Amino acid sequence: MTRTLIKICGLSTPETVDAAVDAGATHVGLVHFEPSPRHISFEDAATLRRRVPDHVKVVLLTSNAEIPVLARGIETVRPDIVQFHGRETPEWIALVRKETGVEGWKALGLKDKGTLQRSAKYNGKVDRLLFDAPAKALPGGNGETFRWDLLNGHKHAVDWGLAGGLNPGNVADAIRATGTPLVDASSGLESAPGVKDVDLIHAFCKAALEA
């Protein structure tokens, strides 16, 4: 049986990065998007990135970043993956992947089966699709789940993962319901907006690994 991949997103302190790694996360996410309570500078992200061992992948999350900003982020942070959380086109993500050699993930708010049908345009253009709850004031990190049954029977043409309101109490159900190969949590592991809780990080990873 393949182990579920675990991404802990929106980390902003050395203590929470270390906790995610110690708890068994396979990916850590660093957010550069100013409206988000999880936003950190590229310089701070680069400092945190240096704490992450080679076996854990670093994901830099951006949303509709301008070309110079994205280029500076990739150069400064040196992420393994860039996660696009805005209106980025498949062609743009494919170009970034080609020019930088960095993996490209795309987050999609899953409203209905039509979203799944439209997601086909990303086939061959991204390394992974992350199905999330539909965007609100923020494109992600809103702590809301969506109807997991929308994924029932969907033939995934690219690697994928599940986000949106996941927490220690529901992640096992999410894995069993969808068969997702990767779970991604952020606000469900916080004691306040943008403030990650070390105990919740450990509990989430434990629940996901035991699901």
Chain segment 37-95, per-residue pLDDT in tens: 999 999 999 999 999 999 999 999 999 999 999 999 999 999 999 999 999 999 999 99
Sequence spans of domains, the chain:
5-210
- State residue 145's pLDDT score: 76
What are the residues facing 185 on neighbouring strands? 8
Q: Which residues contact 190 (CB under 8 A, 6 or more apart)?
A: 10, 196, 197, 200
Q: Does domain 5-210 have CATH number 3.20.20.70?
A: yes
Taking the C-alpha atoms of residue 10 and residue 141, their distance in angstroms, rounded to an integer, is 8
Q: Is the pLDDT of residue 136 over 70?
A: no
Chain segment 113-126, per-residue pLDDT in tens: 888 989 999 999 99
Which alpha helices (DSSP H) does the chain contain, by range? 14-23, 42-49, 67-77, 90-100, 113-118, 171-178, 198-210
Q: Is the pLDDT of residue 142 over 80?
A: no
Quickly state the pLDDT bin for 1 (edges 50, 70, 90). low
- Closest CA relative to residue 12, chosen from 35, 40, 34, 37: 40
Total-model pTM = 0.93
Contact 202, 181 (CB under 8 A): no
Give me the mean pLDDT over the 10-23 stretch: 98
Taking the C-alpha atoms of residue 46 and residue 71, their distance in angstroms, rounded to an integer, is 14
Quickly state the pLDDT bin for 100 (edges 50, 70, 90). very high
How distant, in Å, are the alpha carbons of 10, 89, 158 from that of 126? 21, 10, 8
β-strands 103-109, 128-132: how paired? parallel
Chain segment 155-199, per-residue pLDDT in tens: 999 999 999 999 999 999 999 999 999 999 999 999 999 999 999
Contact 201, 20 (CB under 8 A): yes
The pLDDT mean for the chain works out to: 93
- Closest CA relative to residue 128, chosen from 165, 72, 85: 85
- Token output for 74: 């990739």
